[in-house]
Amino acid sequence: DIQMTQSPSSLSASVGDRVTITCRASQSISRYLNWYQQKPGKAPKLLIYAASSLQSGVPSRFSGSGSGTDYTLTISSLQPEDFATYFCQQGTSTPLTFGGGTKVEIK
């Protein structure tokens, strides 16, 4: 199975801050890397697929980059509605596997 390691596990930030979350795969996943946002009591929501493609309806302050084993989710200017938990997921092979999550909290 491909292991996905996210960092940090949590962070505190202020509205307007630039936030970066990283995800490392245990082997190359050829940009089959997706990012999700989850709020309490809700299902995850797709933000970014294929490492850098923005899902329809997702604000452009969210962006993704990376290749090989290392990937990054960036929120260019954190908004109040962005306080949530973020997960990465590899889609190159089954079992689909997820990172442990990054909780973004208000500073």
Residues at the interface with other proteins (CB under 8 A): 1, 32, 34, 36, 42-46, 49-50, 55, 87, 89, 91-92, 94-98, 100-101
User: Considering the complex, what minimum distance in angstroms separates the CB of residue 38 from other proteins?
Assistant: 9
* 57 alpha carbon, distance to own chain's centre: 16
In the block, residue with structure tokens 């202020």: 14
User: Considering the complex, what minimum distance in angstroms separates the CB of residue 71 from other proteins?
Assistant: 13
**36 vs 62 by CB, closer to other proteins:** 36
User: Considering the complex, what minimum distance in angstroms separates the CB of residue 17 from other proteins?
Assistant: 26
* 53 alpha carbon, distance to own chain's centre: 12
**16 vs 95 by CB, closer to other proteins:** 95
**17 vs 91 by CB, closer to other proteins:** 91
Q: How far apart are CA 1 and CA 75, in angstroms?
A: 29
Contact 45, 37 (CB under 8 A): yes
Ramachandran assignment for 16, one of left (phi > 0), alpha (psi -120 to 50 degrees), beta (any other): left
